[in-house]
A and B are shown apart, each in its own frame.
Chain A
Amino acid sequence: MPGVTLAAAQGWSTCSPRTVPVRLDGSDAGPTGASEEDEISSGRSTALDPVRVDVSGLTKNFGSVRAVDDLSFTVEPGQVTGFLGPNGAGKTTTLRMALGLITPDRGTTTFNGTPYAALPEPTRQVGAVLETAFHPARSGRNHLRVYCRAAGLPTSRADEVLEQVGLGPAGNRKAGGYSLGMRQRLGLATALLGDPAVLVLDEPANGLDPEGIQWLRGFLRHLAHDQGRTVLVSSHLLAEVEQTADRVVIVGAGRLVRQGSLTELRAGSVGSVLVRSPQATALAELLRATGTSVDATDGSAAGITVNGLPVEEVGRRAFAGGIELHELRAQTSGLEEVYFRLTAGQEQYAADHSDTAATPGVS
């Protein structure tokens, strides 16, 4: 894993000189360019202008179905932001509206104050992986060359990003023969062409094998933490972004359910803890005495599941009660439970929104 991240870092350093003049408004591409270039060859973590993404009041109806409903959130630079929600929560529609592909009924999305369509060089400021579809008869390298030309980038960028995502050897093969994981990598390579300050990825882990997912996590963290990019990555699975994201934006039925750091989200609840003990009954009584919910664990008389207490607290109480433990471990992360509650229990959550109308079609 560290080796993979390192390889990614090296990939960046080899391509960074070209990326220097590419700045947000072009205003600082002048005299400062040369000095930046020196800086970059020794590591480019400070060279990138941070870009903040502001989504404000986005609303979109498809016929009678409200896919996205007055959605507002922000995405900060230097962090990986997870964009979470169940299938059909409006994540893809939101991302497509942010990138000018779908016209919202209301609301705006800006990148440091500028909407996508008004960005002077969008490819060099925002990279997006929205779907992994390519012309099946065109090779991966030629696919990338098309967008190099459209963005006015040298076609050598195609080879650089292919290396960066680990697709170098497959570059000359037709994209139609790529596996799902390779398509994801080619999509990511397309997004990286312009060395953008913002990366938007829609379900990028789909189709990646475990190794690929780990590589992607390291890669995204590297892009955000080491290079100061703004990374927004959507997923319907919390587990997928839990180890990558610093912040999460959770949507359900097109509405914002919660946004905040993972730490904040975790603070709200704890998961369940599995305990095995020869004195399981005594422990269960001890915990129930303080109002903690305790269930029997299937298949073992010695096991119980404790809900709503952190592992440390269960251990402390067992110790205080003089109860011998054979096993003590977190069974579900608290976060997962929070996410499940927030998204599956729409009605429960809707109590906070007095005007929430049920939109079953999109959830």
Chain B
Amino acid sequence: MGTAIPRLVRAEWTKLLTTRVWIGLLLGACLMVGAFATLFTAFAGNDDSGIAPVGTATYEQLALAVSANATILFIVLGIIGTTQEYRHRTATPTFLASPHRGRVVIAKLLAYVAAAAPMALVVIAVDVLVVTVYAGAKGAAPSLTGDNLRVLVGAWAALVIYTVIGVGVGALLRNQVGAIVGALVYLFVVEGIISSIPATQGAYKWLPGGALEAMTATFNQTDLLSAWQGGLLLLVYGVAAAVLGTVLAVRRDVV
């Protein structure tokens, strides 16, 4: 019956792999995470920086959690994945090939989860490599067990879930530049304001940024959910955006 979702997922992979967007974003994420990991390690134990010295659990979790900063690039990956159809007007052949538009969005979600999972692993690997080598040189390489491992898994899951959110937001907004700028402004400006104003601080833990922080190491004093709750909340955001985007994609005319 109809166009099978596995076929559409393969079509999405072909779309992703036949342009260089994914390479650019992956390289950018690796560079960003590598640089953060280097900086954190360089200033570890420096009194002015306030970063705990190498060898402490605080430092290790902080340094291993820098991968989570790449969520911004992974949300962009998801946003481009859906908005490129409208930007380059390929939504027409795509919806001609599969008139069931809901299936197209579902296939995109599945395809981008499957693509983001190994990409996120690469980013985590860069983080671990830099921290292990640099911190090892400074005295003590962190172990990759226990709390440290939980931080890494949390960061990996956050990267994948942010991609899902990106796909959903893209389906919702359709305008590529608008969606990317909107996401950046929201994550960097709006959530920053919300978390710093006492009156709205309580809501922060329920927002994507707060949920992300809950998932990865944080030693801020702010009130946050537990790691798994944060992950679940993020997933709810991602799925909600995707469902809403799907409902709208089905109803909107493709002109």
Contacts and interface: CB of A to CB of B under 8 A. Distances in A.
Nearest to B88: A135
Interface in A80-123: 93, 96, 99-103, 116-117, 119-123
Interface string B40-58: 0000000000000000000
A130 B92 contact: yes
B199 interface: no
B146 interface: no
A122 B97 contact: yes
Given A138-B19, A142-B18, A147 B99 contact: no
Given A138-B19, A146-B14, A151-B97, A101 B254 contact: yes
Interface in A257-299: none
Contact of A96 (B7, B10, B251, B255): B255
A131 B14 contact: no
Interface in B100-143: 100
A147 B99 CA distance: 13
A151 B20 contact: no
B85 to A, nearest CB: 9
Contacts of A1: none
Given A102-B254, A117-B100, A138-B19, A150 B1 contact: no
Contacts of B8: 150
Contacts of A123: 96-97
A147 B11 CA distance: 7
Contacts of A29: none
B19 A135 contact: yes
Given A122-B99, A135-B88, A139-B18, A150 B254 contact: no
Contacts, number: 87
A150 B20 contact: no
Contacts of A150: 3, 7-8, 10-11, 94, 97-98
A333 B15 CA distance: 48
Given A96-B254, A146-B14, A136 B88 contact: yes
B100 to A, nearest CB: 7
Interface in A135-171: 135-139, 142-143, 145-147, 149-152
B99 A117 contact: yes
Interface string B220-255: 000000000000000000000000000000010111
Interface residues of B, number: 30
Contact of A101 (B1, B2, B14, B96): B96
Contact of B255 (A100, A102, A135): A102
Contacts of B69: none
Interface string B78-95: 000000100011101111
B181 interface: no
Given A135-B88, A135-B90, A103 B253 contact: yes
A134 B89 CA distance: 7
A198 interface: no
Contacts of A139: 18
B4 interface: yes
Contacts of B14: 142, 145-146, 149
A60 to B, nearest CB: 9
B89 A131 contact: yes
B89 A133 contact: yes
A142 B14 CA distance: 8
Contacts of B18: 138-139, 142-143, 145-146
B61 to A, nearest CB: 39
Q: Which of B1, B7, B84, B100 has the most CB of A within 10 A?
A: B7
A253 interface: no
A178 B251 CA distance: 33
Nearest to A115: B99
Contacts of B11: 146-147, 149-150
Given A96-B255, A152-B3, 9 more contacts: A96-B254, A100-B99, A117-B100, A130-B92, A134-B88, A138-B15, A143-B18, A150-B8, A150-B97
Across the A-B interface, the 9 shortest Cβ-Cβ residue pairs? A133-B89, A150-B11, A142-B18, A117-B99, A149-B11, A150-B97, A102-B253, A101-B254, A149-B10
